[in-house]
Amino acid sequence: MKAWKISLVAAALLSGCDVPSKSQNTEQQIAAQEIAGFKILDQVNAEPGKTAIPYKKFKLDNGLTVILHQDDSDPLVHVDVTYHVGSGREDIGKSGFAHFFEHMMFQGSENVADEEHFKIITEAGGTLNGTTNTDRTNYFETVPANQLEKMLWLESDRMGYLLDAVTQEKFEVQRETVKNERGQRVDNRPYGRLNERVSAALYPEGHPYSWPVIGYMEDLNRVNVNDLKAFFLRWYGPNNATITIGGDIDEAKTLELVNKYFGTIPKGPEVKMPEKAPVTLDADRYISMEDNVHLPLLYMSYPTVHIRHEDEAPMDILAEILGGGKTSLLYKNLVKNQFAVQASVSHPCSELACTLNMFALPNPAAGKSLADLEKIIRDSMTEFETRGVLDDDLLKVKANMEASFIFGLQSVSGKVSQLASNEIFTGNPNYIEKDIARYANVTKADVMRVYKEYIKGKHAVIMSVVPKGKLDTIAHEDTYVTPERTIPELKNATADDLNVRVAKSNFDRSTMPTAGANKPVDVPEMWQVTTTNGLSVLGAQSIETPTTSMLIKIPAGHFYESKEQAGLSNLLASMFAESTTQRSAEDMSKELRKLGSNVYISENNNYINVNVNALSKNLDKTLALVNEKLMNPAFDEAEFARVKNNVLQQFNNAKKDAGYLASTAYAQILFGDSIAGVPSDGNEATVANITLADVKAFYVKHIKPKGSQLIVVSDLPQASINKSLVAFADWKGEAPKLELNLPAVELDKGTVYLVNKDNAAQSAIRIGKRGLTQDITGEFYKASLMNFALGGAFNSRINLNLREDKGYTYGARSRFWGDKNTGGYTASAEVRADATDKSIAEFVKEISTYQASGITPEELNFMRLAINQGDALKYETPRAKLGFLAQILEHDLAPTFVDTRNEIVAGISQKEINELAKKYLIINDMIMVVVGDAKTLKPKLEAMDLKVVDYSI
């Protein structure tokens, strides 16, 4: 199901809650109210005991919709500008324009210099991004509250003053960046082209969803910069946009600023709501594709309705019943009995159409073909007809909706995103009320009705993705061939064809607004106890939402294993998600979902981590189930066999991924024959050695409270949390201390280790060495500050060179990494295959130049501003607070370490940073790992006078 949409419906499920809406104010009352000279068109107020997102809605004369949400709980603001244009509003033969403009909007405007947009927001202490889908494009930033005016200046400049800054050179560079993004996310990723192929078969030619959001590269190759400008002029007017601002704002002042910066931008052409475009199929369409994958995949996609159709809600619940986790039919019929290593069902919805999607990856050990899996899936749907809809099916979904909605209120960005999305697609930011009603009112009969109307006896696109050379294993011979695209005769636009709108301001836009002083940011107040069984507890209260987030860190991670049995802690973490001695895994999943709780158990180098998220009213029941998982795992032989087999299959699948190959080879070379040289989930050889008896023995030895840590952030006071922790009172014992030996490895420095990936569209590069272990206020931290200008920010030297200047990659970076036991320095990127040698040369040049010449005064100031002004974002959500507290407990810190770090940032000198660069960035001390097509790359790398060693994992 779609988490963002589930969240809309839960408010009605809160005990005794009604959601306020504009119905609480008469139209006359709203019309009589105004702020800063603007009438309030719509308003929702917060009321005690009621769950809603308060807001006020306005409209400027040029059609720009303005939504304000006041929330002074943290000294920050979130700004979202959403344009009602996505790939669905592109023309045939001109795909990818909406996504392309997401890139171009960050490339500077008339009063913002090239590459300055990211820099300005980063040094303001903020974060930013933009996203594109089929139906909308949005741009957003979260910054300290004193930076609001600067954000409005930036957003308005690219809305009204962009086109003169869109040059042919920028167009060509970003076209290469988009190609690299496609290469990384689509062409070089296993199953990466699946959605593209399915959409082309599902929707008729010319349907807005028949091409991928990222577009076809041949379309971008044939157009010019004026075609792109024409697209902007058609869709990026203020009358097709909504700006939503939330956080610690003064509403009147904010509205005045919005009017100042956006009010004089002229309207664009009229924009109407798009017509819904569902499709029906007259027969099943079987299609297939060879791919560089280990496991074949079966995918079935049924066309259904459109977003917010009355049948969307029951379709979502149907998807949950069929394939939504361990209580679903596909899990029972495919995964639990080990016919498949993975199977799932979802019902993604977009503005114009929705689909019910099913997929499964067969387990090779079971001997089931894709045709067998298709039959089991179809039989499972028939079984659903007999089984029907159970009471628990509705209870689980509605409980999860409640929890999802409440957890979505934890950040101002989450609230702003909901308001913006509802406004863009419905014209009503408070569409929550209608969503609540349509989900809360779903009945068993509704679910059965939509199954019969949209799925039973209906047709689907059924795709087989098989390893190369194995087309004989597809589920069914192809019955459908996607027609060649019919591209109309396209005439490239010229400058004379553009109907340019000229915006005029009554102030000097060339001067960037200055920010006042940062509002003070309070470190969360903490309390600390040690339980009678030795569990170290650190907590903080956060009263914004009635939720509790908890992290239990048990010292039993990867470094506690022998290298011969690497992956032991990963298997144990997986077994915690299986049955207990009291109930089956399915029953456990059902009970947690009925509480709206989420428990996720994983491992890393040092810990097994138990993550718990619960509504506070259900905390005690949730912790009782967590305790049951930890204290009474069933360690069932059949479940272990399935878990172990799935892990082994994942290894083979991962070897088709360039990033996995690069990271695995890099660790092996740096750490040699030690536990750190093996992935934390092990490898085929080590996991094959592990028995269920080994897992049990590891559990008995390591899963102890004394030595473990529990971090909690809750709206409940300490006394209530202490009472709830009684759930773990019977947990006894002390965890053994870590005994770790990581001997130095004699590296063949300056060597390129080349890992082959046949016909790879991109190459994965890792350059680096072992180094400092993590500290909080020492040299490791200072080295990270040193690296910020080199590779630690979007505007770093490495990224600007390889991405923005050369167009070799979608992103390049460098960092110091580590924990208490290991550490190092790594520069990395996924680059165009044909630019691998050039990319390595640029990496070497940037690192060597920085090592020799150091940081500039401008870069030093940029680093100081970016890091010290970002405090407002560090503690906003319970999750952020949880991470902050975990760091304190992990390193036995006083809360004043924050002040110490700020003093380091403010006081570190250019000389000290340059000395750190000279010490830690000696390129000849580093090794390189490259994953790509060896037969093509090896001669090029050898031509660079590099020593190249063929390497395999």
CA of 611: how far to CAs of 161, 599, 710, 828, 899, in Å?
46, 6, 10, 30, 29
Q: 909-943: b or e for each residue (b if 16 or more CB lie within 10 Å)?
A: eeeebbebbeebbebeebbbbbbbbbeebbeebee
What is the C-alpha to C-alpha distance for residues 162 and 166, in angstroms, rounded to an integer?
A: 7
Task: Provide, for the chain, the percentages of residues in helix, strand and coil under a 3-state DSSP scheme, each rounded to the nearest 5.
Answer: 45, 20, 35
3-state secondary structure of 44: strand
**φ, ψ (nearest 5 deg) of residue 551:** -130, 120
Least confident of 318-332, 338-352, 386-400, 844-858: 386-400
What is the C-alpha to C-alpha distance for residues 863 and 861, in angstroms, rounded to an integer?
A: 5
Residue 188's pLDDT is: 85
Residue 50's pLDDT is: 65
Query: Which domains are assigned to the chain?
Result: 53-274 (3.30.830.10), 285-413+423-473 (3.30.830.10), 526-657+669-728 (3.30.830.10), 751-951 (3.30.830.10)
Chain position carrying tokens 């119905």: 23
Amino acid, res. 900: T
CA end-to-end distance (rounded Å), the chain: 37
Percent with pLDDT over 90 in the chain: 80
Structure tokens at 602: 């994983």
Residue 49's pLDDT is: 64
Answer for the pair 68, 254: CB distance below 8 angstroms, yes or no: yes
**pLDDT value at 891 more than 70:** yes
**pLDDT value at 12 more than 60:** no
Residue 28's pLDDT is: 44
For residue 540, give the H/E element and its range.
Answer: strand 536-541
For residue 212, give the H/E element and its range.
Answer: none
**pLDDT value at 13 more than 70:** no
For residue 650, give the H/E element and its range.
Answer: helix 637-654
For 386-427, write each residue's pLDDT tens digit. Answer: 999 999 999 888 888 788 888 888 899 999 999 999 999 999
Burial class of residue 49 in the structure, from the number of CB atoms within 10 Å of its CB (0-12 exposed, 13-18 middle, 19+ buried) = exposed
**pLDDT value at 117 more than 90:** yes
For 447-498, write each residue's pLDDT tens digit. Answer: 999 999 999 999 999 999 999 999 999 999 999 999 998 888 888 889 888 9
CB atoms within 10 A of CB 95: 24
Q: What mean pLDDT do residues 341-357 have?
A: 96
For 646-694, write each residue's pLDDT tens digit. Answer: 999 999 888 889 999 999 999 999 999 999 999 999 999 999 999 999 9
- What does pLDDT average to over the chain? 92
What is the per-residue DSSP string for 776-812?
Answer: SSSHHHHHHHHHHHHHSSTTSHHHIIIIIIS--EEEE
Give the pTM.
0.91
Chain position carrying tokens 């905390």: 619
For 756-789, write each residue's pLDDT tens digit. Answer: 999 898 999 999 999 999 999 999 999 999 999 9
Closest CA to 62 of 272, 261, 273, 251: 261
Chain position carrying tokens 């206020």: 777
Q: 570-589: b or e for each residue (b if 16 or more CB lie within 10 Å)?
A: bbbbbbbbbbbeebbbbebb
**pLDDT value at 11 more than 70:** no
**pLDDT value at 801 more than 70:** yes
Banded model confidence at residue 702, pLDDT cuts 50, 70, 90: very high
What is the C-alpha to C-alpha distance for residues 830 and 832, in angstroms, rounded to an integer?
A: 7
Residue 873's pLDDT is: 82
Q: Tell me the range of 5-14, 174-183, 702-711 where mean pLDDT is highest.
A: 702-711
**pLDDT value at 895 more than 90:** no
Q: Which long-range contacts (CB under 8 A, 24 or more apart) does 897-900 make?
A: 897/776, 897/777, 898/523, 898/871, 900/777
CA of 101: how far to CAs of 107, 182, 311, in Å?
10, 15, 34
Residue 31's pLDDT is: 46
What is the C-alpha to C-alpha distance for residues 680 and 568, in angstroms, rounded to an integer?
A: 9
